[in-house]
Structure 1
Amino acid sequence: MNKEYAVGLDIGGTHITAAVIDITDMKVIDFSLHKESFDSNLPVEEVMTIWEKAIRTSIENSKVENTTGLAVCMPGPFDYTNGVCWIKGQSKYEHFYGLNVRDLFKDKLNLSSDFPIFFENDAVCFGKGEVFKDTENLSKKVMAITLGTGLGACFIDKGESISTGDLVPKDGEIYDLRYKEGIAEDYVSARGLIAGYFALSGKEINNGLELFNLATAGDTMAKKAFEQMGEDLAVIVLPWLATFSADSFIIGGKIANASEFFLPFFNKKIKEAGSNVTVSISTDNEKAALLGATSMLYKA
């Protein structure tokens, strides 16, 4: 069988990860994974130069001579069909607002007008990638979330993303669901953790990693902030796990690395509610996102 390869990109507010994917077997090619950190508020041309470097380095390291597509995980708001960025007021990609990123890629990489370039929400890419990593999930209904600077979510039924209909929230998103004095993301995210710790201790911290280090060192208030987030997460997702009839719930994102501090409290709430959903923590967010992106080009 002839192999086909595509480049997968996972693009965040401060990083880009590129890899060449065998889209016949859905495997990441050895040595092709390449990361670059950058400030997404740099001028567009400077950002595109960094992205180009990541892509070309990945292809060079893979030793693959020909790639047949580009698949990109991007945070929203973003017009994933047409490739237009609508991110505004989020301290990232301020200069990309209203620009067609598909055209930017084609110009920067000297690609033909018909070269396939697909875009998908980063949380959906993560969820799809987790499904493709474990083929048993291809027959299941999976809800997956990403915990980081924001709260991403997706609903996957037999490998397909579901974002409309009565079984899922609007656009398949949970970050903006009304919760307590605001929305879900105010409480379940890095900023939610930081705010929770401040409310408990009166102390200001800079980021989630700092809180994780405090909790690891035994700081009671830091642990309590994670516990509260775990309970809040359970309350937020329980109605949708039930409505969607999810078989599996998968947690990813950087904050998933702190699962020892919040997962027991999340699980306790889930069990108290009588849910039998299987809960798991992703062991490789990055590869999952890249596989999920390139699943749009999957050659079965």
Structure 2
Amino acid sequence: MNTSHAIGLDIGGTHITAAVINKTEMKVLDFSLCKESFDSNMPADQVMNIWKKVISTSIENSKIKDITGIAICMPGPFDYKTGICWIKDQSKYEHFYGLNIRELLLETLGFPSDFPVLFENDAVCFGKGEVFKQQENLSKKVMAVTLGTGLGACFIDKGTSMDSGNSVPADGEIYNLPYKGGIAEDYVSARGLLSHYKSLNGRDLNNGLELYSLAKNGDQQAIQVFERMGEDLATVVIPCIKNFAADHIIIGGKIANASDLFLSSFNKIIQKSDLKVEVSISNDSEIAALLGAVSFLCD
């Protein structure tokens, strides 16, 4: 059997992760995983140069000469068919609004204009990847949630992602669901955590990691902020779990690494609702996202 390889990219508001994936076995090639943090609000050409460096390093380390495609998990709003970015006023990719990322990427890498490039929602990629990682999920209804710069979600029914119909929110998104006079992402995201902390004591923090460190060092207000986020997340997803009749909810994204601070309060609200749903935290959101992205190339 011929083995083909593709590049998987997980692109977020503050990072890029790249790896070369064996499409036949759906496995990340040894030594090909490469990642870098960056400020996505830099000018577009500077961001593209960072992407180029990470992608080139990944290919070089993999020792693979023949790459057959690129699969990219990208946050929205984004036109995943055309590759045009519509992210605006979200504290990320401020200089990318209206740009064709497919054309920019191929030009930056020096690839031909017809080289296969596929874009998919980052939360959908994460959910699909988790299903590949846990084969028993192929027979279940799974809701996957990503917690990071924003709030992502996807709904997977027996391995197929669902973004329309009466059982899921519009476009399979939950970030924009009305919540507490705003939207869910105002409260369940890095921005929401930092905003809540500032409302308690007036301090501006740089990022979620700083807040996590404070909480781990006993800052009661920081602990309270994470616990409240767990409650808010549960309140947001309960109607979705019920409507979709989900068997399993999987939580991933960078903030999932702080699950020791919010999972207990999340589970308390879930249990009060009398829902019978399995709850788990992803042990590697990035690998799941990369595998999920490349799975769409296989489709």
TM-score category (smaller protein): over 0.9
Q: Which residue of 1 aligns with 2:74?
A: 74
State the 1:12 CA deviation.
Answer: 1.6
Within-5 A mapping of 1:229-244: 229-244=229-244
Q: Could you tell me how far apart the structure 2 residues matched to 1:285 and 1:115 are?
A: 27
State the 1:68 CA deviation.
Answer: 0.7
State the 1:203 CA deviation.
Answer: 4.1
Structure 2 residue identity aligned to 1:276? K
Q: Which residue of 1 aligns with 2:257?
A: 257
Structure 1 residue identity aligned to 2:177? L
* CA 41–208 in structure 1, closer or farther in 2 if over 3 Å, else same: closer
Q: Could you tell me how far apart the structure 2 residues matched to 1:197 and 1:43 are?
A: 30
Within-5 A mapping of 1:242-281: 242-281=242-281
TM-score with structure 2 setting the length: 0.95
Q: Which runs of 5+ in 1 are unaligned?
A: none
* CA 85–163 in structure 1, closer or farther in 2 if over 3 Å, else same: same
Q: Which residue of 2 aligns with 1:98?
A: 98
Within-5 A mapping of 1:68-147: 68-147=68-147
Q: Could you tell me how far apart the structure 2 residues matched to 1:66 and 1:198 are?
A: 50
State the 1:258 CA deviation.
Answer: 1.1
Q: Which residue of 1 aligns with 2:148?
A: 148
Q: Give secondary structure in 1 for the equivalent of 2:50.
A: helix
Q: Could you tell me how far apart the structure 2 residues matched to 1:278 and 1:50 are?
A: 39
State the 1:90 CA deviation.
Answer: 2.4
Deviations 1:101-124 (A, max 9, x none): 111222222323332110011111
Structure 1 residue identity aligned to 2:47? V
Deviations 1:110-143 (A, max 9, x none): 3233321100111111111111111111221111
**Any conservation in 2 of the 1:137–1:158 contact (CA below 8 Å)?**
yes
Q: Which residue of 2 aligns with 1:169?
A: 169
Q: Give secondary structure in 2 for the equivalent of 1:127.
A: helix
Q: Which residue of 1 aligns with 2:219?
A: 219
Runs of 4+ in 1 over 6 A off after TM superposition: none
Q: Give secondary structure in 2 for the equivalent of 1:94.
A: coil
Q: Give secondary structure in 2 for the equivalent of 1:6.
A: strand
**Percentage of pairs with the same residue:** 67
Stretch moving more, 215-224 or 118-127: 215-224
Within-5 A mapping of 1:24-35: 24-35=24-35
Q: Which residue of 1 aligns with 2:21?
A: 21
Structure 2 residue identity aligned to 1:172? G
Within-5 A mapping of 1:178-197: 178-197=178-197
Q: Could you tell me how far apart the structure 2 residues matched to 1:199 and 1:109 are?
A: 44
**Any conservation in 1 of the 2:13–2:149 contact (CA below 8 Å)?**
no
Deviations 1:242-266 (A, max 9, x none): 1101111011111111111111111
Q: Which residue of 2 aligns with 1:285?
A: 285
Q: Which residue of 2 aligns with 1:298?
A: 298
1:65 aligns with 2:88: no
Q: Give secondary structure in 2 for the equivalent of 1:191.
A: helix
Q: Which runs of 5+ in 2 are unaligned?
A: none
Q: Give secondary structure in 2 for the equivalent of 1:236.
A: helix
Q: Give secondary structure in 2 for the equivalent of 1:95.
A: coil
Structure 1 residue identity aligned to 2:250? I
State the 1:62 CA deviation.
Answer: 0.6
Q: Could you tell me how far apart the structure 1 residues matched to 2:108 and 2:117 are?
A: 13
TM-score with structure 1 setting the length: 0.95
Q: Give secondary structure in 2 for the equivalent of 1:88.
A: coil
Deviations 1:2-28 (A, max 9, x none): 111100011122221110001111100
**Any conservation in 2 of the 1:26–1:298 contact (CA below 8 Å)?**
no
Number of residues paired by the alignment?
A: 299
Structure 1 residue identity aligned to 2:274? G
Cα-Cα RMSD:
1.5
Q: Could you tell me how far apart the structure 1 residues matched to 2:55 and 2:188 are?
A: 33
